[in-house]
Amino acid sequence: MTDFEATNLFAQQEANRRKSRWLVAGFVVFFLWLGLGGDWIAYEYTKGLPPEQYRHGFPVLGAIMVLIAGGLVVNIRRSGASKVLWSTGAQRLDEPATQDERTISNVVDEMAIAAGIPRPTVWVIDDDDPNAFATGMKLDASHVAVTRGLMTTLNRDELQAVVGHEMGHIKNLDVQLMTLVAGLGGAIALIADGIGRMLWHGSHSRRHGGGFSGGGGGGGRKKNDLGPLIVVLIVVWILSWLLAPLVTRLLAMSISRKREYLADAMSAQFTRNPLALASALEKIEQAAAPTKSIKHGVAHLCIADPLGWRSSRREGRVSDLLATHPPMASRIARLRQMGFEPASV
């Protein structure tokens, strides 16, 4: 990262957008390969056959993968946020009664204006650990939930910065993106599991004298030679499927971390006060108790990992590859740079 990129919040936003766009593109390409790779094998396998036999022309497997993805998109666009909010026991804040509640309600108003988006509904979670998350599949029906611990731990500026981070997630449509990526990963894991079982049974029955016909080909056809291309394709494709659950998870988590950096930079844009978010993150890190009311499913939408993995390890460790959030230390360092302060104090 150049000095200009480090200190300019718009350049930081652009850098994170660009990186996460590449990661999403990689995810899509991998997903399509899982379907189209099979079609390619079937095409190569059947292209030499006489015209009266089946020849693989239309990419059926690719079409199935696209249908799965399309179905997920439609499903996600329809589903509401109520399930997530219900699972955390959040209560809707309509009539702020205490000074804290009035402040959070006002802060959400302010950040909605700064972000130029419709005001999200505010929810309060009865939990002493400071944390917050955003949810909602549409820009005009979004929700921000904060814990009581957040309201008592942070001052007004820090609260504003945290709400700004959540507004960043809402404005960037991160809820849709991450739900879709998680959904596709889940679908792939299910199919890969099925394929793994099939292979296991296939090799098992062969040992007992049964025939393993190899993919979609019929048994009684004229023998045609498997060229080296087909063998390589089959090996790579099956390996891709076996590794698919791990690969999609790594990609999804790395997209999630880029979106966290982006939301931090969005908060800096809305409040023009990156140092407030830096000090909020420091306070949240110090209160490292896990947020009991927030379950694993919404972890990637929170301001800080609710499961208590908030240590300040450096980036690059293996365990970091599976984390939803970047290490706190590097988030705080980037915010300090945006605020023209030395990265470490």
Active site residues per annotation: 166
Closest approach, Cβ 105 to another protein, in A, equals: 9
Q: How many CB atoms lie within 10 A of CB 215?
A: 13
Q: Which is nearer to another protein, 113 or 322 (CB)?
A: 113
Q: Which is nearer to another protein, 162 or 182 (CB)?
A: 162
Q: Which residues bind another protein (CB under 8 A)?
A: 99, 102-103, 106-107, 109-111, 113-116, 152, 155-157, 160, 270, 272
**What is the C-alpha to C-alpha distance for residues 167 and 191, in angstroms, rounded to an integer?**
35
Closest approach, Cβ 134 to another protein, in A, equals: 18
Contacts with 147 (C-beta within 8 Å, 6 or more apart), sequence order: 124, 125, 126, 127, 128, 129, 130, 131, 132, 291, 293
Closest approach, Cβ 110 to another protein, in A, equals: 5
Q: Which is nearer to another protein, 65 or 112 (CB)?
A: 112
Tell me, what DSSP letter sits at residue 130? -
CA 243, 247, 252 angle in degrees (round to 5)? 150
Q: Calculate the alpha carbon distances from 78 to 74, 81, 334 in Å.
A: 6, 10, 36
Of the candidates 115, 104, 120, the residue with the CA atom closest to the CA atom of residue 156: 104
Q: Which is nearer to another protein, 164 or 306 (CB)?
A: 164
* Angular region, 215: left φ>0, alpha ψ -120 to 50, beta rest: left
**What is the C-alpha to C-alpha distance for residues 20 and 30, in angstroms, rounded to an integer?**
15
Contacts with 204 (C-beta within 8 Å, 6 or more apart), sequence order: none
Tokens of 332: 């705080």
Closest approach, Cβ 342 to another protein, in A, equals: 24
Closest approach, Cβ 144 to another protein, in A, equals: 16
Q: Which is nearer to another protein, 104 or 303 (CB)?
A: 104
- Contact (Cβ atoms closer than 8 angstroms) between residue 132 and residue 163: yes
